[in-house]
Amino acid sequence: MKIRICRIAERMQIIGHGSGVRWVFDGIITRNKDKNTLTCAETPNSKSRPQSGICTNTYPRVIHGHIRRNTVAVTVTQMFRIAVSDCAPQTSRVSSNLHSSSSMAVSRVPSPPPPEVNTPVAENWCYTQVKVVKFSYMWTINNFSFCREEMGEVLKSSTFSAGANDKLKWCLRVNPKGLDEESKDYLSLYLLLVSCNKSEVRAKFKFSILNAKREETKAMESQRAYRFVQGKDWGFKKFIRRDFLLDEANGLLPDDKLTIFCEVSVVADSVNISGQSNTIQFKVPECRLPDDLGLLFENQKFSDVTLTVCGREFQAHKAILAARSPVFSAMFEHEMEERKQNRVDITDVDHEVLREMLRFIYTGKAANLEKMADDLLAAADKYALERLKVMCEEALCTSLAIENAADILILADLHSADQLKAQAIDFINTHATDVMDTAGFKSMVNSHPHLIAEAFRALATQQIPPIGPPRKRVKQS
């Protein structure tokens, strides 16, 4: 028996079908301590009930199951014990099987969700609930290869609906050899509204074919809800090619039976529920973490490590440096001199660059990128500050010019700044004639010949091949 769970407000429904019956158990779902099993106990006011007009005698009161995919799908270990009457008789050629359920059921009036922090709150609210009724239909056509209908001739299923009391009656319509000359090599499939008590109905639908393993294949569905009136149908003129369908290797006609599975979603009436909010809105102060950490860097309170460069000292905090930079983290984590002496000597970074790098570590901001983006790029690469590195790449990209294009390309290659490197190569290829006359480019030819090769390869890949076959040369006599 296959089952699925439908959530209804604070309660759950388990819906199962098997042995020719569709069965609903309405109750409270309880997740057990192991979090992998559940218990569904029937509520006092709920009612286990069969559907589709088939008689049942016994219903279980407690169901134990195994949870898969966070309770969306369930495999029941204690099977339902259900007495099932004989199903409706099938014709020798066309048979149908209907499974239907409403996808919308409301056990209590919903309330608006609580507002998030700093989001607007209205004194009055309205909740519009659009009801959608979903049901499915399975149509089996026996001895399909013997269908003698000619092009344009139709084969119809019996009528079906979402339930016994539903006034909307539907049927499926098949043109085994296509609807017209354009679709003569295809099977055409349509959903037809046979009768209704409204002027129009809007519905979405999905068609598929069940293969020999009873799996859905060759599915096609409408992209929107179409307008149906009585006698109107919607579907697919070219649903599936006949030669593909009839090919035994594809397994779509087991025992020469074509089984079509149709899922319909009908838009029912909408319901408006309105009310007034009594939520008190608190004004939460803005987050000042970057500013507070920046102040901590400036006043040097509670510092526990000293960074020295060019005779200048900067007081800092190990925890903050280690949290922001994997390089500093490795320094302070292992038995290195920096950890023992609480002192880090930096030799290859200017003191102004180090100050800006530390300011970024504390605040996430870099104020002087325009002036020192190239030096900060090198520092960010050394200390694995990826965000600062990309910010420097962006600043250098905006400053690309004829005179500095070659130098920026060399810098990007040296520090593995891939985005900046790609932009520099593109700029050089676009302004090749002017860039080649600069001293930087001439120097790059000798010092970094591999960059010249990369630029040439990028230029070659941008070339658009000619359209059409090459022209033949005219022979001269």
Instruction: Provide the H-helix boundaries in 415-448.
Output: 418-430, 432-435, 439-447
User: For all residues of the chain together, what is the average pLDDT?
Assistant: 77
What is the H or E stretch that residue 5 is in? strand 2-8
Q: Residue 283 pLDDT more than 90?
A: no
Q: What's the gap between Cα 257 and its chain centre?
A: 36
Give dist(CA 406, CA 408) in Å, integer: 5
Predicted confidence at residue 316, as pLDDT, reads 94
What is the H or E stretch that residue 169 is in? strand 169-175
Predicted confidence at residue 197, as pLDDT, reads 87
Contact 133, 103 (CB under 8 A): yes
Quick check: helix, strand or coil at residue 168? coil
Instruction: Provide the H-helix boundaries in 262-368.
Output: 289-299, 318-324, 326-333, 337-341, 351-363
Residue whose structure tokens are 């048979």: 95
Q: Residue 105 pLDDT more than 50?
A: no
Give 31's pLDDT tier (boundaries 50, 70, 90).
low
Give 32's pLDDT tier (boundaries 50, 70, 90).
low
Q: What's the gap between Cα 397 and its chain centre?
A: 33
Predicted confidence at residue 414, as pLDDT, reads 95
Contact 106, 9 (CB under 8 A): yes
Burial of 103 (0-12, 13-18, 19+ CB in 10 A): middle
Give me the sign of the Cα torsion angle 387, 392, 397, 399. Answer: positive
Predicted confidence at residue 443, as pLDDT, reads 93
Most confident of 11-20, 341-350, 380-389, 466-475: 380-389
Give dist(CA 303, CA 316) in Å, integer: 5
Higher pLDDT, 113 or 432: 432
Residue 329, both tokens: 């983290």
Greatest distance between any 2 Cα atoms in the chain: 103
Predicted confidence at residue 165, as pLDDT, reads 81
Which stretch of 90-99, 112-121, 140-149 has the lowest confidence by average pLDDT? 90-99
The tens digit of pLDDT for each residue in 197-206 reads: 888 999 999 9
Q: Which residues have CB under 8 Å from 310's CB, separation 6+? A: 350, 351
Give 364's pLDDT tier (boundaries 50, 70, 90).
very high
Higher pLDDT, 18 or 404: 404
Contact 307, 344 (CB under 8 A): yes
Give 113's pLDDT tier (boundaries 50, 70, 90).
low
β-strand pairing of 312-316 with 343-345? unpaired
Give 238's pLDDT tier (boundaries 50, 70, 90).
very high
Which stretch of 126-135, 148-157, 411-420 has the lowest confidence by average pLDDT? 148-157
Give dist(CA 19, CA 52) in Å, integer: 13
Which stretch of 81-90, 106-115, 226-235, 268-277 has the lowest confidence by average pLDDT? 81-90
210 strand-pairing partners: 216
Predicted confidence at residue 453, as pLDDT, reads 92
Q: Residue 85 pLDDT more than 70?
A: no
Please compute the mean of the pLDDT values over residues 254-276 and round it to a whole number.
90
Higher pLDDT, 422 or 77: 422
Predicted confidence at residue 120, as pLDDT, reads 72
Please compute the mean of the pLDDT values over residues 27-31 and round it to a whole number.
51
Which stretch of 33-37, 78-82, 453-457 has the lowest confidence by average pLDDT? 78-82
Residue 440, both tokens: 């930087």
168 strand-pairing partners: none
Higher pLDDT, 376 or 77: 376
Predicted confidence at residue 465, as pLDDT, reads 53
Which stretch of 39-43, 62-66, 334-338, 437-441 has the lowest confidence by average pLDDT? 62-66
Predicted confidence at residue 106, as pLDDT, reads 37
Residue 298, both tokens: 């400036």
What is the H or E stretch that residue 41 is in? strand 37-42
Predicted confidence at residue 46, as pLDDT, reads 43
Give 111's pLDDT tier (boundaries 50, 70, 90).
low
Quick check: helix, strand or coil at residue 312? strand
Give 279's pLDDT tier (boundaries 50, 70, 90).
low
Task: Kindly write down the DSSP assignment for every residue of 197-262, as one continuous string.
Answer: SSS-EEEEEEEEEE-TTS-EEEEEE-SSPEEE-TT-EEEEEEEEEHHHHH-GGG--SGGG-EEEEE
